[in-house]
Every structure is written in C-alpha cells, then in structure tokens.
Amino acid sequence: MQIAVIGAGDASPEEVEAAETVGYLLAQNGAAVVCGGLGGVMEAACRGAKEGGGRTVGIIPGTAGENPYVDIVVRSGLGHARNALVVGSADAVVAVGGAYGTLSEIALALTMKKAVFGVKTWEIDGVFPCLTPEEAVLTAVRAARLSH
Amino acid sequence: MQIAVIGAGDASPEEVEAAETVGYLLAQNGAAVVCGGLGGVMEAACRGAKEGGGRTVGIIPGTAGENPYVDIVVRSGLGHARNALVVGSADAVVAVGGAYGTLSEIALALTMKKAVFGVKTWEIDGVFPCLTPEEAVLTAVRAARLSH
Amino acid sequence: MQIAVIGAGDASPEEVEAAETVGYLLAQNGAAVVCGGLGGVMEAACRGAKEGGGRTVGIIPGTAGENPYVDIVVRSGLGHARNALVVGSADAVVAVGGAYGTLSEIALALTMKKAVFGVKTWEIDGVFPCLTPEEAVLTAVRAARLSH
Amino acid sequence: MQIAVIGAGDASPEEVEAAETVGYLLAQNGAAVVCGGLGGVMEAACRGAKEGGGRTVGIIPGTAGENPYVDIVVRSGLGHARNALVVGSADAVVAVGGAYGTLSEIALALTMKKAVFGVKTWEIDGVFPCLTPEEAVLTAVRAARLSH
C-alpha cells in the first residue's frame, strides 16, 4: 500500500506536527509514504514514517536535495510536472495544509479519481475534510485497501 | 507572445462560445494560443484562433487525438503531467470553466507565478475573475507583455 | 508535417552548416522544424528554417534559453526527459552529428517506430545514413508523408 | 545506494538469467534495484533482488502492469519519457542485453554522466563492457560508492 502525503515545503509548526503524525500512523498501518521528497510537510511525513518503522519514497523535482528521511529517491528532474507522479503513485492521498503546489496535487489526484483526505488544506469539492491526522490516516488506509 | 487557454474537454455551450471568443481575440492581438490540444474548451479556443488568423499549439497527453484546429502538435505522451507544460509554456493563462484538470493547471500556473485570468472558472485566490472573454483577453495580453 | 532535427548544442562548423541546410530545405518542403530549442545544431536548423520561410518549434529542457529562431517555445521544465517529446512530436527525424543526448533521441525515435535519417551521426542499426542534408530532407519528407 | 538495471521487456533466457543474478548480487551488496518495472530483464532483476533480500523500485511508463517483484511502484504515466527517471534515479547503471529502449537509457545515463556497465548490450563508447553479471555488479557498486 502506498499513500501520498502532500503539503508545502514551507510549513507551519502545526502542519509539521500533523504531517509527522500522519507519517507515523501510515507506517504503523503498513503503508509506504510517497511524497515530493523535499522539506516541510514532506520531510515531517518521512520523519514520522521512519519513527513508525515504515518506508518512504521521495519523488523530487530536481536531481538532488531530498530530505534525510527518504529511503528511495526518485530523481525525476521533471520540475513541477513531478506532482503528477507523486499522486499517480498513490493508492490514496493525505493533504496537510499547503500552497498552490499542493492544490495542483489535489486536483491531479481528483482527476485520476484517487481519494483525497485533507487536514486543514484547500476546501475543494471532492476532498474529504478530516479533523485530525488520525482520522485522515484511518480513512485513507481504508480507501487505499478498497482501491485494490 | 504565447497565451494558454485552459478548460474542460467536456464543456457547456456557454463555455465553448466563451473559449472561441477568447481564441479569436487572442489571435487578433497577435498571441499564439497554447492549449491541451483536445476537445471542448481547447478545440473551441483553437477554432476561434484560426478564425482570427492566429496560430495554435496543442500539447496533447497521448500521441494522437488533437483537434483539427491545432497547427503545431506536441505529442507529449506524458498523461496528466503534460498540464505543467501547457501553463509553463504560457506568458499568461486564461481559464474558461473547467473541472479538476483545469484546476490543476490553474494551481500549476500560480506555482510558476504566471498571471491567471478566469471566466466562470474555479474561484481560487490568485485568479483574476473576468466577467467576459473580452476582459480576460485584454488583461491577459497586458500581463503577457509585462512578463517579458 | 513536423520533422525533428536533432543534434548537439555544441556542434562543429560542418554540423552547423549541414543543420542550417536541413532546416532551410524542410521549410521549403512545407515541414515545421521541431527541435530541442537550444544552440548548435538546434539553432542552426531553426535559423535555416526561418531563412526558408518556415516554422520552428523548440521544446526546451528548462523554462528559458531558447534560441532566437524559435517561433513556438515549449518550456517543458522536464530536463532530459524532454528528449522523448522532441522525437515523439515528429513525423520523421533528421539527426546531424551529435553526442549522447542525440543518441538518446535516436533510440527513443526508433522505439516509437519513427523513421530516422542521419547525416554523420551515430551508426545505429535502424538509422538511414544519408550523404548530404539534401538526401536526408528528401527521404525524411517522403517518410513523413507516408506516416500519415 | 540505488542501481538501475536496464534491459528489454522481451528478453532471451540468457539475459533473464544474467539479470536475475545481477539483481541478486545487488541486493547482497545492499543496493536497491531501480528499473522500468515491467517484464523480461526488469522482472528478472527484481526477482533476483527479492531472492537476495533486497529492495526493488519499478518506474513504470503507464499506471499499471508492474511485475510482482516490485516493492515500490512509481506509476509515472510518462510513457517513454520515464526512461530518463530510471537512470536519473540511479547511482550507477547495469545494462543487460536490450533493444532501442535500453539504448535510450544508456544514452540518457551517459548524458547525465552516470557510469554504465554492460553485459552483452549495445557497444557504445562510454559503456564499460563486462564479461559476467558478477563483474558488472562489482564495478557498478564501486562506481556508485564513489559517486557519493
């Protein structure tokens, strides 16, 4: 099971904490964390996943600069186009906060008919709003299982 | 000057009419129309541009299927990732209506700090809402000129 | 008709001259020149095409830096992955000289079953060797017409 | 350490055997196998890696169809352009046999200045020819270590 965690590289302390919890709980549920591989929410999700004993994949836009908690790095060199690969590789998506890059990933995920669960993120029709990281992980894991 | 026209492949008659006017006016203003190359809003914008004596570029997701009004076809084969190229190649962006694919293009354009002008499209902070195709083209052309 | 001209950004005077002739003759035959949009062979082919009254498309790896003879610029931001788009968008391919990047384009074109005509380029099984730019253009135009 | 194993989806029994050995030995040396995720050489390398207790990454061109020995699947949807990601994500590359797709990956790897080790593959200047899978893995692992 692969679940994408998306969110800004420049994240607030609350977003970082939420993302770390999301990563930790995904790992505990046996899901690999797929993300954009950089800082902020991406780094926090990876750090959480490693604390939880899980695996992390970072699909970076360039060819270097992944965060230290990335196990497998995909050096895409694709720039912003890599956003499509992050969500395309996921069985479900958890969005934490986020700016326009995250919005593009939410929209791409919905285009691909992936389930998207949001924690204090863009209010877009089709995104399931979750009150807590726990709720987001629970529902995302369930959606990912159903997608197979 | 290259201006992207984005919108759904499955568009309403009103959207088609607005997109055709946008394409026509862009051509009259000397701007090449860049789009996703398929049907709906994309086809209407290309048809309008050809009626206006202009040039059209279609960056298609696959390797075939461009609409008949595309002059230059980029057969990207990139799937949804091609959305980043449509807006990345533009000096400014006009969005007409649209579903999630269009939302992803709006978000990618804003990530790249491109000016986005919308006609009955997603209400996203950063998109300039326009009441008419005429207003969208006028302001987009001005923004494209300033971007150089 | 769209024909790709591929070759190194760092080209010899002979390669530059050959590429310019290729571009000129393609334009005279009504074919748009598709290329990687940068210098060397790419710039020479575009310059020749403009002298011949034709159209040029440059699919650049980054978001800036196209040569001055590019009419339509696709700012792909894809890095080396854009090579697949250059040949994928072509009805036939002419290779002039070239280093590893050109070899990758030749191989990608052959993977996509596009006809490749070479002027002093890599000797790869499947590439039609041509003695002159004139021969390369003649045969490429014929192949492009047959591909439709 | 991530090492790409490249080769045809339609491989000979000798190539399959060589690729399986390469995958097994890479795993024993602590390297993750990165590949195109499909059949033939790619599947054999992944199967070998799992027998050796290692990790495998498949960067597939579409959105489904990875072989059963892929641990992490990147559903790129990029078509042939994904070849750039396979070698771009590697610290060194081992080529086993192969057709034009493999040639494009060899050329892309050399463009990116990655070391490429070949077992009965294309004879391209810059590729280190190896007599056995063992030699290819030994030298590739050494090159990958030096690249950090």
Q: Which pLDDT tens digit goes with each residue over C14-30? A: 999 999 999 999 999 99
| CA gyration radius, chain B | 13
Residues 103-132 of C with CB under 8 A from B: 112
Q: Are B143 and B92 in contact (CB under 8 A)?
A: yes
Residues pairing with A59 in the sheet: A74
pLDDT of residue C148: 79
Judging contacts by C-beta atoms under 8 Å, the chain B residues touching residue D77 are 78-81
Contact with chain B for residue D84, Cβ under 8 A:
no
pLDDT of residue D111: 98
Looking at chain D, the whole-number percentage of residues with pLDDT higher than 70 is 100
Q: Please report the ipTM that was assigned to this predicted complex.
A: 0.96
Judging contacts by C-beta atoms under 8 Å, the chain A residues touching residue B99 are 111
Long-range contacts of A126-135 (CB under 8 A, 24+ apart): A126/B100, A127/A95, A133/A18, A133/A19, A133/A21, A133/A22, A133/A25, A133/A96, A134/A21, A134/A25
Nearest in space to C57 (alpha carbons), one of B5, B62, B69, B72: B72
pLDDT of residue B84: 98
Number of H helices, E strands in chain D: 5, 7
Kindly report, residue by residue over A31-61, the tens digit of the pLDDT. 999 999 999 999 999 999 999 999 999 999 9
* Separation CA A100–CA B31 (nearest Å): 26
Nearest in space to A80 (alpha carbons), one of B106, D67, C66: B106
Contact with chain A for residue D55, Cβ under 8 A:
yes
Is the pLDDT reported for residue C4 higher than 90?
A: yes
Residue with tokens 């070698």: D87
Cβ pair C88:B77 closer than 8 A? yes
* Separation CA A29–CA C104 (nearest Å): 42
Smallest CA–CA distance, residue D59 to chain B, in Å, is 14
Judging contacts by C-beta atoms under 8 Å, the chain C residues touching residue A75 are none
Q: Is D63 exposed, middle or buried (0-12, 13-18, 19+ CB in 10 A)?
A: middle
Nearest CA in chain A to C81: A78
Count of other CB atoms within 10 angstroms of residue C134? 13
Is the pLDDT reported for residue C68 higher than 90?
A: yes
Q: Which stretches of chain D score pLDDT less than 50?
A: none
Domains and CATH numbers, chain C: 2-146 (3.40.50.450)
Contact with chain C for residue A80, Cβ under 8 A:
yes
pLDDT of residue B78: 98
Interior angle at CA A28, CA A22 and CA A32, nearest 5: 70
Two tokens at D134? 């063992």
Contact with chain D for residue B79, Cβ under 8 A:
yes
Q: Are C22 and C133 in contact (CB under 8 A)?
A: yes
Nearest CA in chain D to A84: D76
Q: Taking residues C47-70, report their average pLDDT.
A: 98
Kindly report, residue by residue over B89-135, the tens digit of the pLDDT. 999 999 999 999 999 999 999 999 999 999 999 999 999 999 999 99
DSSP string, B81-127: GGHHHHHHT-SEEEEES--HHHHHHHHHHHHTT--EEEES----TTE
Can you say whether residue C138 is alpha, beta or left, with left for phi > 0 and alpha for psi between -120 and 50 degrees? alpha
User: Which chains sit next to B, with 3 or more Cβ pairs under 8 A?
Assistant: A, C, D
Q: Is C51 exposed, middle or buried (0-12, 13-18, 19+ CB in 10 A)?
A: middle
DSSP string, B5-24: EEE-SS--HHHHHHHHHHHH
Is the pLDDT reported for residue C127 higher than 90?
A: yes
Judging contacts by C-beta atoms under 8 Å, the chain D residues touching residue A32 are 72
Kindly report, residue by residue over B64-88, the tens digit of the pLDDT. 999 999 999 999 999 999 999 999 9
Judging contacts by C-beta atoms under 8 Å, the chain D residues touching residue C85 are 81
Is the pLDDT reported for residue B142 higher than 90?
A: yes
Residues 87-106 of D with CB under 8 A from A: 88-89
Is the pLDDT reported for residue A148 higher than 90?
A: no
Judging contacts by C-beta atoms under 8 Å, the chain D residues touching residue B63 are 79
- Assign C1 a pLDDT band (cuts: 50, 70, 90): very high
